[in-house]
Structure 1
Amino acid sequence: MTATVSNFYYGAVTLVAAYLMACLGAGLGLRCTTRSLRRPQRRAGWLALGAVSLGCGIWTMHFIAMIGFSVQGALVEYDTTKTLLSLVVAIAVVAVGVFLVGYRGRSPLNLATAGTVTGLGVAAMHFLGMAAIHTSGTIDYDVPTVVLSVVIAVAAATAALWAAVSIHTLWASLGASLVMGVAVTGMHYTGMAAVSVHLAGATESVQSSTDLLSFLLVMLAGPLTVLLVAAVVVMFDPDMMLNDDWDRVAPASHGTGTAHPVPQQPRSARSHSSR
């Protein structure tokens, strides 16, 4: 018996919250990558923070959206190990892409490689998270729809990585994060459109929404905390409010180990002071 599946058990609230988390992760990832380009001596640290932020944002988007997933007539439970493993996968594959473009640049070949690896990894995270679902039946997928969701994931990842090394101003980063949020959330719901559940037999079981919600909120607590900490770090970084003119000047100070370029005295002043 094919069960009725819904992705909006709580209405549009999970869709909106998932989208906002995707935008937050994307925005933090973009700003951290910008910092890494501005400060080569701290590049690895900023890229790592950007990868963790983007990975946590994508994973959090997925499982906030999954709060709204329900199967009529069946319980939905999650395997804790697979759920946490999907978080590790999300961060790891995003880190591969971010470090590739952070250190090797935005050449078409490098972007294509990094975007493909990251997109396939994001898709793997999605379906690993789906594999963590336990229900009284079997979950099947429509293959063409799955392929479409993977293509969207690769395209979204490539666009995100391009934006990370190409967009440096604050407002442009905010706009890019809104677009990337649409792409990442769209990939998730496209993948969920491929899902059908076939129950083993007629059952009167009902979804224990309170237990499921409690489990997912516990799982989300860690990544949400990471995103909050990353947001504080980015917001209070001295470079946060610098303008485009500074972006052109700042690289000259990288070799000095200081955050600000040191004004140079006029030649005549230096000659007088040396006497």
Structure 2
Amino acid sequence: MGTPQIIWLLLAAIGLGAALVSHGKPIKVSASIYFVRVFVVGLLLVWGGFFSQADAASIPTAAEQHRRTLVRAAHAEWGLGAPVATFAAQVHQESAWRSNARSPVGAEGLAQFMPATADWMAEIYPRSVGPAQPYNPGWALRAMVAFDRWLYERNQAVSECDRWAFVLAGYNGGNGWVNRDRRLASAKGADPLAWFDSVERHNAGRSAANFRENRHYPRAILLRWEPMYAAAGWGPGVCADRYSRHEDPNAVSARHVDHQFACRLLPELAGCRRPERIATAPSSPGPALATRTRGQTTTHAALVAAPAQA
């Protein structure tokens, strides 16, 4: 119960007291009528949810304003099967659908792009994304789904849900850190292709605060907000099997295929035979570009040449 509800109850009590006593003289009929009125109004307010606890897990009203734009951007980049609920959940986590949002470290707009990252996206996607306009909702959503695609192509995993967890961890803190955490997990005997309860437990050097934020980010999007948007009819998500507790029957076979892919990207992982390192991105990725977390900035140079990042 919040301040408005408490104030209403106090005013109702004061009014009832005033009706019961007028200049020291009880007024029976007026008090009864007033009590009935208060009771009826209170009943209507209860029925309307005035006294219920606000639902923290609710879709902001601003989301509907940008829904069609997100759907168009997602379908253009990912096809008709695009995981729109996942993208909506990501925007929810990034900015709560506030197009004018600006973080303390300078991330801007619906998708919270750092200025340098926005410029980089405009450079590598001049047609589909266009000139950097992070406060423009259309631009922000196009850039977000394109950057997610960029990360998706550089990450493989035992399941689609785990793969997207790697993608989102990279979006939040840099794909270079994702690769370093994979190697550390492998060295510790964990599965470098599984995010949940595996790679997510290993920290290759972030501060404690940045590590907590980066690990919270995929879980909040995939396991908290995505189900909410999927249930509201926004389209498919990528982790329905996980939060509905259904196992992917293809996970075992996919594991072998993905492990081969991961060895091409990170040959130093346990079980990989090739000693040489294969480039994971174009040789000219553009300038070093910032990817933000609250207390730390990584760069898109690190997204390409991650192992050497300090």
TM range (shorter): under 0.3
Larger RCO (alpha carbons 8 Å, 6+ apart)? 1
> Higher helix proportion, which one?
1
| TM-score normalised by L of structure 1 | 0.26
